[in-house]
Protein backbone atom coordinates (compact mmCIF):
# COMPACT_ATOMS: atom_id res chain seq x y z
CA UNK A 1 0.00 0.00 0.00
CA UNK A 2 1.41 3.35 -1.02
CA UNK A 3 1.50 6.21 1.45
CA UNK A 4 -0.04 9.57 0.66
CA UNK A 5 3.42 11.05 0.05
CA UNK A 6 4.32 8.26 -2.37
CA UNK A 7 1.12 8.85 -4.31
CA UNK A 8 1.72 12.62 -4.50
CA UNK A 9 5.29 12.18 -5.71
CA UNK A 10 4.14 9.52 -8.17
CA UNK A 11 1.57 11.90 -9.64
CA UNK A 12 4.17 14.68 -9.84
CA UNK A 13 6.63 12.40 -11.66
CA UNK A 14 3.88 11.17 -14.00
CA UNK A 15 2.89 14.72 -14.92
CA UNK A 16 6.43 15.97 -15.43
CA UNK A 17 7.59 12.90 -17.38
CA UNK A 18 4.59 13.31 -19.68
CA UNK A 19 5.63 16.90 -20.33
CA UNK A 20 9.22 15.83 -20.97
CA UNK A 21 8.16 13.17 -23.48
CA UNK A 22 5.84 15.61 -25.28
CA UNK A 23 8.15 18.59 -25.49
CA UNK A 24 11.82 17.86 -24.88
CA UNK A 25 12.93 14.44 -26.09
CA UNK A 26 11.51 14.04 -29.60
CA UNK A 27 14.79 12.43 -30.73
CA UNK A 28 14.58 9.76 -28.00
CA UNK A 29 11.00 8.71 -28.74
CA UNK A 30 11.56 8.82 -32.52
CA UNK A 31 8.33 10.64 -33.38
CA UNK A 32 5.99 8.21 -31.60
CA UNK A 33 3.44 9.13 -28.98
CA UNK A 34 4.56 8.10 -25.51
CA UNK A 35 2.22 8.56 -22.58
CA UNK A 36 3.01 7.91 -18.94
CA UNK A 37 0.19 5.83 -17.50
CA UNK A 38 1.46 5.35 -13.92
CA UNK A 39 4.49 6.28 -11.85
CA UNK A 40 5.04 4.37 -8.60
CA UNK A 41 7.62 5.48 -6.06
CA UNK A 42 9.40 3.17 -3.59
CA UNK A 43 8.93 3.80 0.14
CA UNK A 44 12.41 5.33 0.47
CA UNK A 45 11.70 7.66 -2.51
CA UNK A 46 14.87 6.43 -4.22
CA UNK A 47 13.31 4.49 -7.11
CA UNK A 48 10.40 5.27 -9.41
CA UNK A 49 8.78 2.74 -11.72
CA UNK A 50 7.37 4.55 -14.73
CA UNK A 51 4.85 2.69 -16.90
CA UNK A 52 4.67 3.83 -20.52
CA UNK A 53 2.15 3.38 -23.28
CA UNK A 54 3.68 3.70 -26.75
CA UNK A 55 1.64 4.39 -29.88
CA UNK A 56 1.81 3.24 -32.66
CA UNK A 57 2.90 -0.21 -31.46
CA UNK A 58 4.73 -1.08 -34.70
CA UNK A 59 8.21 -0.14 -33.42
CA UNK A 60 7.40 -0.23 -29.71
CA UNK A 61 10.41 -2.37 -28.76
CA UNK A 62 12.88 -0.06 -30.52
CA UNK A 63 11.42 3.06 -28.90
CA UNK A 64 11.37 1.41 -25.46
CA UNK A 65 15.01 0.34 -25.84
CA UNK A 66 15.94 3.91 -26.78
CA UNK A 67 14.09 5.27 -23.74
CA UNK A 68 15.83 2.86 -21.35
CA UNK A 69 19.23 3.74 -22.82
CA UNK A 70 18.54 7.44 -22.22
CA UNK A 71 17.22 6.98 -18.66
CA UNK A 72 19.98 9.12 -17.15
CA UNK A 73 19.18 12.00 -19.53
CA UNK A 74 15.48 11.72 -18.64
CA UNK A 75 16.32 11.69 -14.92
CA UNK A 76 18.42 14.84 -15.39
CA UNK A 77 15.56 16.60 -17.18
CA UNK A 78 13.17 15.49 -14.43
CA UNK A 79 15.58 16.84 -11.83
CA UNK A 80 15.66 20.22 -13.54
CA UNK A 81 11.87 20.39 -13.36
CA UNK A 82 11.22 19.08 -9.82
CA UNK A 83 14.54 19.80 -8.12
CA UNK A 84 12.99 22.45 -5.86
CA UNK A 85 10.16 20.14 -4.78
CA UNK A 86 12.08 16.91 -4.10
CA UNK A 87 15.22 16.47 -2.07
CA UNK A 88 16.26 13.28 -3.90
CA UNK A 89 15.44 12.70 -7.56
CA UNK A 90 14.53 9.01 -7.81
CA UNK A 91 16.22 6.61 -10.21
CA UNK A 92 13.87 5.79 -13.07
CA UNK A 93 12.93 2.31 -14.21
CA UNK A 94 10.76 2.12 -17.30
CA UNK A 95 8.17 -0.56 -18.07
CA UNK A 96 5.74 -1.00 -20.94
CA UNK A 97 2.13 -0.78 -19.79
CA UNK A 98 0.29 -3.40 -21.78
CA UNK A 99 -3.07 -2.98 -20.06
CA UNK A 100 -4.62 -1.40 -23.18
CA UNK A 101 -3.53 -4.38 -25.28
CA UNK A 102 -5.01 -6.68 -22.66
CA UNK A 103 -8.33 -4.81 -22.66
CA UNK A 104 -8.45 -4.92 -26.47
CA UNK A 105 -7.78 -8.65 -26.43
CA UNK A 106 -10.58 -9.25 -23.90
CA UNK A 107 -12.99 -7.14 -26.00
CA UNK A 108 -12.13 -9.18 -29.10
CA UNK A 109 -12.75 -12.42 -27.20
CA UNK A 110 -16.10 -11.17 -25.93
CA UNK A 111 -17.23 -10.16 -29.43
CA UNK A 112 -16.74 -13.69 -30.76
pTM above 0.85, yes or no: yes
Q: pLDDT at residue 29 above 90? A: no
Lowest mean pLDDT among 17-26, 52-61, 73-82: 52-61
How far apart CA 97 and CA 24 sit, in angstroms, is: 22
Residue 71 · residue 90 · CB < 8 Å: no
Please name each of the domains of the chain with its CATH number. 4-111 (3.30.300.20)
104/79: higher pLDDT = 79
Angle between helices 60-69 and 71-82 (to 10 degrees): 60
Amino acid sequence: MDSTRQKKIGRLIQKEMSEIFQREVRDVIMGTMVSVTVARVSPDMGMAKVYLSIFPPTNKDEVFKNITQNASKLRFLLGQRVGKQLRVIPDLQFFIDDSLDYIEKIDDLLKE
